[in-house]
Structure 1
Amino acid sequence: MKNNKELYEYYLKYSKKTPKPLRVKIKVGDLDFKNIKLDRDIERVKRRYLQLTKNELVELLVNAEQYIAEQNQTWIKSQFESFK
């Protein structure tokens, strides 16, 4: 491509990559998990997850597990108290 100066200049002019948009940190809390609906579009959810970085997915998974553990603890406690 460098042999053809005009083509190379055209390439340099129009091949500039646009900068990637800055990623927004994912905030996951109780409200995010409470609002998940059973009948949501799973393909859309998969596409959204594919857009996340590996670190963002790990953070999301850890927060999800933490939320589940807290909900299980709350449920076990309420079951225990109801048998008193």
Structure 2
Amino acid sequence: MKLIHLYDYYLKYSKITPKPVRVKIRVGDLDFKNIKLDRDIERVKRRYHQLTKSELVELLVNAEQYIAEQNRTWIKTQFESFQ
């Protein structure tokens, strides 16, 4: 019984800070359209270093999908303008 009280006391007065809640990365057309060429690359690298491996994989796959869609759209417009 005393052990439970000590633990409650410990939780109440300890200086343990809770882990920050990870924010899910939202990746879509708008995110890639808003990328600026003159952005701070070091800041981008720091942000990527904070991501988990699975988040990085998801970001990369979505980036490739976006690039593939943009390439298809560009090729389609090139053929249409040629005719």
> One fold, TM greater than 0.5?
yes
Deviation, 1:20, is 1.2
- State the match for 2:67 in structure 1: 68
Q: State the aligned residue count.
A: 71
CA distance in structure 2 between the aligned counterparts of 1:40 and 1:82, rounded to whole angstroms: 33
Higher relative contact order (CA 8 A, sep 6+): 2
TM-score (norm 1): 0.78
2:27 pairs with 1:48: no
Identity %: 86
Structure 1 unmatched ranges of 5 or more: 1-12
Q: Which is helix-richer, 1 or 2?
A: 2
- Report the RMSD for the aligned CA atoms in angstroms: 1.4
> Whole-Å Cα distance in 1 between the matches of residues 16 and 65 of structure 2?
40
Q: After the TM superposition, list the runs of 4 or more consecutive aligned residues in structure 1 that deviate by more than 2 angstroms.
A: 16-19
Q: Deviations over 1:17-62 (max 9, x none)?
A: 4221110111101010001000000000000000111111011000
